[in-house]
Structure 1
Amino acid sequence: MSPIKDFCVTYDAINEEGTFSSGDPLSGTVTFTLTKDTKVKCLSVKAKGDARVHWTEGTGDNKRSYSAHRRYFKLKELLLAENEKGTVLPKGTHRFKFRFQIPQGDMPSSFKGLHGKIVYMIEVKMSRSWRLPSIEQNEIKFVSRSVPRLDQMVSTQFGSVNKEMGMFSKGEVQMSASANRKVCSPGDTLSIVANVKNMSSKTMRAKFSLQQKTVYRASGSTNSGDISLCKLLGDTIAPNSEVNVTCQLEIPADVIYSLQNCDIVSVDYYVKVYLDISFSFDPEVVFPLIIIPSSLAKLQPVEAMGPNPAGPFWGASNSDFPPPAPAGLGAYAYPPPVPTQPANISSGYNNPWPQPATQYGFSIPTFPSSSVQHPAPTAPPQFQQEAEPPSYMDLFPPSQDTQGWGGTNQKS
C-alpha cells in the first residue's frame, strides 16, 4: 500500500474569474501526507500549455488518421533535487511552494472541442525507486490577450439581398439587415434589424441564428463543423408588404471565445439573418462576429477605439497586477521574452524566471503552518540583457505530433 496520501497540487487565483494570461505569475502549493518515513527520488512540478488535434477519416483500407500538436511553453521546478540514493521525508503532512511566470507570447485561450483541445495545466510528479511515479494534475483556465486587428472591426454592420421568386410564386423579395456591433462578450445582447420588402404572393418569416464554426487542421487537411448556438423566429410577413423585424440576440454565457491565433484549430462566429420561404431558396445575410472576454471588453472597449492601429491593441490582463510598460514592445505588442537562467545541471531543464519581482509587485503568498514546511525555491541572479532577446517562437518552436492523440498522462 502506498504511503502517499492526499497528493494534490493547487494554484493561487489572481482574479475573481480564476483565469490567467501571458505574463501572469503562477504560484501554488504541492501537498501530500506520508503515513511513514518515505524515501523520495525526485519531486518536481511543471506548468505547460499544449494544443492537440486528432481525427480519423474513411474506413477499412482507406482509413486515415490526422494529428497535430503545438507546445506553447513548458516550465519545470525541482522541489526536491533528483537523487539516486533518495531523500527521506518524515511521516506527516508536507507542503512545497512553487512559483512560475507564464511567458509572454501570442498564445490561444483554453479550448475543448470534438476533435481537439488547448490545455494549460500544472503537473506534479513524485518519483521513488522501484515504484511507478505518482502524478497529479490541475488544469488552469487561460485567456488570450490577443484580439483581432481593430481596422477589421466596425461598429455597425449592414448587408442586403434581393431574390426573384421562382415558378411557384410571382414577384420579388428584398431584405436588408444591420447589427449594432461586431464585437461581443458572453452574456451581451446583439441588436439586429431586418427590413423586408415582400413583393410576392408568398408568406414568409424572418429567422435569426448565431452560428459557431470550428476548423481543425493537420497534415495539410482540415475538419470543420458548423453548429447553431441559438435561433429566434420573427413574425409572419404577409404578401405585398414591407416590415421591419427586430431581434435581440443574447450571446450564451458559456460560449467559447473566438479563437484565431492557433494554426491547428480556429473558432469563428457569425450571425445569419434569413427568410424562411416554403418551396423556395431562403435568401440570407451573414454578419461575422467576434467574441472576447468581458474583462477585455470592459477595460478596452473595442468599438470606442480609433481604426487603423499599428497592430493588435493591448488587451487587458486577467491579472490584478499592472501590465508591463509599453516601451520596447515586441511582436503582437507584447514585451520581448525574458532570458532564461542557465540549465539546471541535475535536471537538464531550463526554467525561465520573471523580471525583478517589483515589476508586478509580486510576493510569495503565505500558507498555513504544517508539520513540515518547505521553503519556496530561491530565484537565480538577474542577468543583464545586452542584446536583443530572441522572439517567443525562437524560444518555443512549434512541433508536429505524428504519434496520434496524446493523453493527459503521456510522457512529455
Structure 2
Amino acid sequence: MSPIKDLSLTYEALNEENTVSQGDTITGAVSFTLTKQTKVKLLLVKAKGDARVDWSEGTGDDRRSYSAHRRYFKVKEYVFAENAKVGTVLPQGTHCFRFRLQIPQGDMPASFKGLHGKIVYVLEAKLSRSWRLPSVLQTELNFVSKSFSRYGQALCPLSGLVDKKVGVLSKGQVKMSATVDREVYCPGDTVSVVAQICNSSSKTMKPKFSLQQNVEFRASGSSNLCSKNLCKIVGDIIPPNSEETISCQVKIPFDVTPTLHDCEIISVDCYLKVYLDISFAVDPEVAFRLIIVPSSHAALLPGDAVGPFPAGAVGGPSYSDFPPPAFPIAPYPVPTGPGPYGYPAPDPNSHANMTSGYNTQWPQQAPPYGFPPAAVWSSSVQPQAPTAPPLFQQETEPPTYTSLFPPSRGTGSNQKS
C-alpha cells in the first residue's frame, strides 16, 4: 500500500475568469500526506499545451485512420531534484511544496474540445519513488489566446452583392446586396443585418438568414469538416417584380465557440449567410465570416462601435465570393456638388416656390436604416426606416427647360411696358 495520501495540486487564479495566457506566471502548491517516513526520488511540476486530432473514415478494408499532434510548449520545475543514490527522505506527516512556472510567449491557440480533436493545456505534478509507479496528478488550464487583440480594428461594416438569373424554368433575374454592422463580436452580441432585394423575375422567393459554425480538423493532407447551425430566420414572401429592403437582428449564442485560427490542425469559423430561397433554382447567397472573441476580450470593441454602423464607415471588406456593391449601403450623404441633371444644387434651407409650380426643397440626409427589436419581420408590419434611394435605378431622360420654367400666359406684343 502506498504511503502517499491526499495528493493535491492547486494554483492561484490570475483573474476572475480563472484563465491563463501567453507570458503568464503560474504559482501554486503541491501537497500530500505520508503515513510513514518515505524516500522520494523526485517531485516535478510541469505545464504543457498540446493539440491532437484523430478520426477514421470508410469501413472494412477501406477504413483509414487520420491523426496529428502539435506541441506548443512544455515548461517544468523540479521542486526537489533527483538523487539516484540517496534520494530525499521525507518524514511522516503533511507536506506542502510551492512552485512557480512561466508560460512562454508565442502564437498559441485557445483551449478547445471538439468531435475529432482538442487543444488542451494542463498543469501536472509527478511524485516518483524508486522501483514504484509514480503518483501523477493533472489539472486543466483554461487558456485564452492573446492573439485575439489583433482583431480590435476589424470594426468596419461588411458588404456583399450577388446578381444572377433565376433559372431555365423562369424568366428574369434577382439582385441582392447585404450588409452587417461590423466584423468582430462577443458571445451574446447581436448582429444587425440589412438586405436590399430586387426581384425582377416571375418567381416568388423568401429571404433567409443563417448563422453557422464550421470546425475543420486536418491531418495527413486530409480534412474533416463539422458544421452546426446556430440560428436560422425566415422572412416573408417577396412577390415577383418587386423590391424589398429588409432589416433583421441575429443574436449570437452565449455558448458559441470563439474563432480559432492559430492552430495548424484545427480551425473554427462562424459564418452569417443571407440567401434567397427560390423553388427549382440555385439560391443566391452572400456569406460573411464573423470573428467571435471571448467575452473577456469585450474591451476590443470600442463604445462607438455599438450600433448598426460605426461613425464614418461606408463599407468594409466582405468574405463573400461576390464583389462589393458599387453604390453606398451605409447612411446616404447629402450631395454638395451640382444637382440632378447638371443644374446647380438648390439651397437646402429654401422653401417651396409655389409661384413657379415646382419645389426647390433639397431632400435632407436620410438616417441609416433602423433595426426592429424582433428577430423575425412581417410584411404587414414594415421596419420603421426612412425610404432609401432605389437599389437599382432606371435611366430617366432629363427634364426640358420649358417644364421647369413655363412661359408667361401673355404674348410679348400685348404686354404693357
**What letter corresponds to residue 29 of structure 2 in structure 1?**
T
1:187 equivalent to 2:188? Answer yes
1:212 equivalent to 2:251? Answer no
CA distance in 1, matches of 2:311, 2:113: 32
The SS at the match of 2:256 is: coil
CA distance in 1, matches of 2:111, 2:282: 39
Taking structure 1 as reference, are residues 152 and 216 closer, same or farther at Cα in structure 2, changes over 3 Å only? farther
Give a deviation string over 1:16-69, Cα, whole Å, max 9, x none.
Answer: 111111011111121222333333222111111111122223333333322222
1:247 equivalent to 2:232? Answer no
Residue 15 of structure 1: aligned partner: 15
Give 1:36-55 correspondences, 5 Å limit.
36-55=36-55
**What letter corresponds to residue 220 of structure 2 in structure 1?**
S
**What letter corresponds to residue 14 of structure 2 in structure 1?**
I
Larger radius of gyration: 2
The structural deviation recorded for 1:301 is: 4.2
Residue 64 of structure 1: aligned partner: 64
Structure with higher RCO (Cα < 8 A, 6+ apart):
1
The structural deviation recorded for 1:3 is: 2.8
Structure 1: any 5+ residue segments left out of the alignment?
308-412
The structural deviation recorded for 1:112 is: 1.3
Residue 139 of structure 2: aligned partner: 138
Residue 81 of structure 2: aligned partner: 81
Taking structure 1 as reference, are residues 215 and 299 closer, same or farther at Cα in structure 2, changes over 3 Å only? closer
The structural deviation recorded for 1:118 is: 1.1
CA distance in 2, matches of 1:167, 1:97: 75
Give a deviation string over 1:101-153, Cα, whole Å, max 9, x none.
Answer: 11111111111112211111101111123322111110011111114866994
The structural deviation recorded for 1:195 is: 1.5
Structure 2: any 5+ residue segments left out of the alignment?
314-417
Give a deviation string over 1:49-98, Cα, whole Å, max 9, x none.
Answer: 11112222333333332222211111111123223343332333322211
Deviates more, 1:236-245 or 1:252-261: 236-245
Residue 92 of structure 2: aligned partner: 91
Deviates more, 1:82-91 or 1:93-102: 82-91
CA distance in 1, matches of 2:74, 2:194: 48
Residue 397 of structure 1: aligned partner: none
Taking structure 1 as reference, are residues 90 and 21 closer, same or farther at Cα in structure 2, changes over 3 Å only? same
Give 1:330-345 correspondences, 5 Å limit.
none
User: Aligned residue pairs: how many?
Assistant: 307
* Identity, % of aligned positions: 62
**What letter corresponds to residue 70 of structure 1 in structure 2?**
R
Tell me if the contact between 2:152 and 2:300 (Cα under 8 Å) persists in the aligned partners: no
Deviates more, 1:21-30 or 1:242-251: 242-251
Tell me if the contact between 1:8 and 1:137 (Cα under 8 Å) persists in the aligned partners: no
The structural deviation recorded for 1:100 is: 0.9
**What letter corresponds to residue 247 of structure 1 in structure 2?**
C
Taking structure 1 as reference, are residues 149 and 33 closer, same or farther at Cα in structure 2, changes over 3 Å only? closer
CA distance in 2, matches of 1:93, 1:278: 74
Give 1:323-362 correspondences, 5 Å limit.
none
CA distance in 1, matches of 2:240, 2:41: 81
The structural deviation recorded for 1:167 is: 4.5
Taking structure 1 as reference, are residues 130 and 150 closer, same or farther at Cα in structure 2, changes over 3 Å only? closer
Taking structure 1 as reference, are residues 300 and 192 closer, same or farther at Cα in structure 2, changes over 3 Å only? closer
Residue 345 of structure 1: aligned partner: none
Give a deviation string over 1:348-397, Cα, whole Å, max 9, x none.
Answer: xxxxxxxxxxxxxxxxxxxxxxxxxxxxxxxxxxxxxxxxxxxxxxxxxx
CA distance in 2, matches of 1:15, 1:151: 21
Give 1:7-406 correspondences, 5 Å limit.
7-84=7-84, 85-147=86-148, 153=154, 155-299=156-300, 301=302
The structural deviation recorded for 1:183 is: 1.0
CA distance in 2, matches of 1:220, 1:23: 32
Deviates more, 1:180-189 or 1:164-173: 164-173
Residue 325 of structure 2: aligned partner: none
The structural deviation recorded for 1:208 is: 1.1
The SS at the match of 1:280 is: coil
CA distance in 2, matches of 1:186, 1:211: 14
Tell me if the contact between 2:151 and 2:300 (Cα under 8 Å) persists in the aligned partners: no
Tell me if the contact between 2:31 and 2:94 (Cα under 8 Å) persists in the aligned partners: yes
Tell me if the contact between 1:209 and 1:230 (Cα under 8 Å) persists in the aligned partners: yes
Tell me if the contact between 2:164 and 2:174 (Cα under 8 Å) persists in the aligned partners: yes
Give a deviation string over 1:276-300, Cα, whole Å, max 9, x none.
Answer: 2223221111111111223334156
The SS at the match of 2:192 is: strand
Residue 402 of structure 2: aligned partner: none
The SS at the match of 1:267 is: strand
**What letter corresponds to residue 76 of structure 1 in structure 2?**
K
